[in-house]
Structure 1
Amino acid sequence: MEKLSKAKKILVISLSCSIIFLVSFIFIDDSVGQSKSPTAVRFASVPAIVEAPSHVAFQKKYFNEQGLDLSIEINPDGKTSLTHLFEGTVDIAAVMGTPVVYSSFDRSDFYIIAKMEHAKIHSAIARKDSGITGKNSIKGKRIAVMLGTSGHFFLDSWLIFNQLTPSEVDLVNLNGPEAVKAIEKGDVDAMFYWFPFPNMAKKVLGDIGFELSSNHHVPGSWVIVVKKDYAHKNPEIIKRFLKAILKAVNFIEKEPEASMRIHSSLSGVDASILSNIFTQMDFRLCLDQELLLDLEDQARWIIRYGYTAHKKVPNYLNYIYPDILKAVNPEAVTLISGD
Structure 2
Amino acid sequence: MIRAALFFSIFLSTLVAQAAPLRIGVSETVLSLPLYVAEEEGFFQKHGVSVEFMNCVGGNRCIKNMLNGQTDLSTATELPVVFSSFTRNDFAILTSFVSGSNDLKVVARTEAKINQPGQLRNKTLGYVKGSASQYVLDSVLVYNGIDPDTVKLKAITPETALMALANKEVDALCIWEPFASRIELELGAEVMLVPIPKLYTATFNLIAMQDVIKSKPKEIERIVRALKDSTQFIQMHPDKAKALAAKRLKIPVVLVDRIFDNYRFRLSLNRSLPRTMEGQARWAIREGHVPGNPHQPNFTGFFYPAFLKTVDPGAVSLQ
TM-score (norm 1): 0.86
Across the aligned residues of Structure 1 and Structure 2, the Cα RMSD in angstroms comes to 2.0
- Contact conserved, 1:43 with 1:73, CA < 8 A, in 2? yes
- Of 225, 233, 237 in structure 2, the residue corresponding to residue 243 of structure 1 is 225
Shift of 1:55: 0.8
> Matches of 1:181 and 1:289 in 2, distance apart?
39
> Matches of 1:165 and 1:74 in 2, distance apart?
36
- Of 205, 218, 224 in structure 1, the residue corresponding to residue 206 of structure 2 is 224
Note if 1:317 corresponds to 2:296: no
Shift of 1:33: 6.2
Q: Which runs of 5 or more structure 2 residues have no equivalent in the other structure?
A: 1-7
Shift of 1:213: 2.0
CA 1:129–1:236: 2 relative to 1, 3 Å: same
> Matches of 1:31 and 1:330 in 2, distance apart?
30
SS in 1 for 2:317: coil
SS in 2 for 1:283: strand
Shift of 1:326: 0.5
SS in 2 for 1:36: helix
- Contact conserved, 1:122 with 1:218, CA < 8 A, in 2? no
What's 2:39 paired with?
58
What's 1:83 paired with?
64
Question: For each residue in 1:205-262, what CA deviation from the matched residue of structure 2 results, as whole angstroms up to 9, or x when unmatched?
Answer: 2223222121232243221110111111111111000111110111110110101111
- Contact conserved, 1:47 with 1:74, CA < 8 A, in 2? yes
Question: For each residue in 1:84-138, what CA deviation from the matched residue of structure 2 results, as whole angstroms up to 9, or x when unmatched?
Answer: 1011111110001111101101101111111123222111111121243333432
What's 1:48 paired with?
29
Shift of 1:184: 2.5
> Matches of 1:156 and 1:30 in 2, distance apart?
51
- Of 260, 274, 279 in structure 2, the residue corresponding to residue 292 of structure 1 is 274
Note if 1:92 corresponds to 2:73: yes
Note if 1:173 corresponds to 2:155: yes
Q: Give 1:198-277 correspondences, 5 Å limit.
A: 198-277=180-259
Shift of 1:178: 1.1
> Matches of 1:136 and 1:239 in 2, distance apart?
47
Note if 1:326 corresponds to 2:309: yes
- Contact conserved, 1:221 with 1:294, CA < 8 A, in 2? no
What's 1:116 paired with?
97
- Contact conserved, 1:184 with 1:201, CA < 8 A, in 2? no
Identity across matched positions, percent = 25
Q: Which runs of 5 or more structure 1 residues have no equivalent in the other structure?
A: 1-28
- Contact conserved, 2:99 with 2:265, CA < 8 A, in 1? yes
CA 1:62–1:269: 2 relative to 1, 3 Å: same
- Contact conserved, 2:97 with 2:227, CA < 8 A, in 1? no
Match of 1:292, as an amino acid?
A: P
- Contact conserved, 1:191 with 1:198, CA < 8 A, in 2? no
Note if 1:157 corresponds to 2:139: yes
Shift of 1:181: 2.3
Match of 1:56, as an amino acid?
A: V
Match of 2:297, as an amino acid?
A: P
What's 2:4 paired with?
none
Match of 1:142, as an amino acid?
A: T
What's 1:5 paired with?
none
> Matches of 1:44 and 1:71 in 2, distance apart?
9
> Matches of 1:286 and 1:155 in 2, distance apart?
26
> Matches of 2:167 and 2:234 in 1, distance apart?
36
Q: Give 1:2-151 correspondences, 5 Å limit.
A: 35-38=14-17, 39=19, 40-120=21-101, 121-151=103-133
Match of 2:71, as an amino acid?
A: V
- Contact conserved, 2:114 with 2:120, CA < 8 A, in 1? yes
TM-score (norm 2): 0.91
> Matches of 2:51 and 2:104 in 1, distance apart?
29
CA 1:54–1:203: 2 relative to 1, 3 Å: same
Shift of 1:204: 2.1
SS in 1 for 2:273: helix
> Matches of 1:33 and 1:122 in 2, distance apart?
41
Match of 1:315, as an amino acid?
A: N
- Contact conserved, 2:27 with 2:57, CA < 8 A, in 1? yes
